[in-house]
Amino acid sequence: MFVFNQRSLKAFNEKTLFHYKRHATIMAVLLLVCGICCLIYPIAAGVYLSYATGFMFLVCGFYSIYSLFSSGKKQLKAKLTYAFFAIAWLLLGYCFLENPVIGMNSLAMVFCCLFILGGIFRVASGVKMFRSPGYGWNIFIGIFDLLIAAVWLNMDPDRSYVFTSIFIGVEMIFSSLAFISLRRNASLVQTEKLADKN
């Protein structure tokens, strides 16, 4: 877990700060490289993303099966829940691995639903806090989210596939910038601590 709050970072000793800096650097580089690859090679990146997602679904499915048989004397309802999720995860994993295009289009639908929900909640929040500071931005961003979802839903499968890969690439790049910010904050705190010692 990474802490982005500079006040929280000040509570750590030098060894912990070094640990955070090192891992933040590794994550920033990995996310930046993957994000750039998604932007340059969206079709190939989409295939790999679909395979990675399918593999993760299969892992979840096998873990659900393990939980089902290792749950001991649990209620029938709990066992049925484990069985349901095991089947669902395994089927999803198989679909993503068998046909990456369908897998990426399924991810696109999930993202669209998230944008629609996020947009509705942001607009509702903005209306609720009407005349309060920041209410206008909430409404604007909510409407923007809904517009992105509408454009995404109206794309044909091939364009949706490429757009999803590009979207994930941009998200990775922004995440890498957040880790770079964490590293910078950790370096500042380290410098302040050294100055205090001297």
Owning domain of residue 139 = 12-49+99-197
Structural domain includes residue 54: no
- Give the model's pLDDT for residue 179: 79
Structural domain includes residue 122: yes
Structural domain includes residue 61: no
Put residue 23 in one of left, alpha, beta given phi > 0 → left and psi -120 to 50 → alpha.
alpha
- Give the model's pLDDT for residue 48: 85
Amino acid identity, position 135: Y
Structural domain includes residue 154: yes
The pair of three-digit structure tokens given for residue 77, joined into one six-digit string: 């309802």
pLDDT of residue 198 exceeding 70: no
Q: What is the pLDDT of residues 41-78, one digit of tens each?
A: 888 888 888 888 889 989 988 988 887 787 666 677 77
Distance CA 92, CA 158 (A): 20
Structural domain includes residue 160: yes
Structural domain includes residue 66: no
The pair of three-digit structure tokens given for residue 19, joined into one six-digit string: 């640990």
Q: Quote the number of domains for the chain.
A: 1
Structural domain includes residue 1: no
Structural domain includes residue 76: no
What is the percent of the chain where pLDDT is above 90? 2
* 154 backbone dihedrals φ, ψ, rounded to 5°: -85, 0
Contacts of 161 (CB under 8 A, 6+ apart): 42, 43, 46, 101, 104, 105, 108
Rounding to the nearest 10 degrees, give the CA dihedral for residues 181, 182, 186, 189.
70
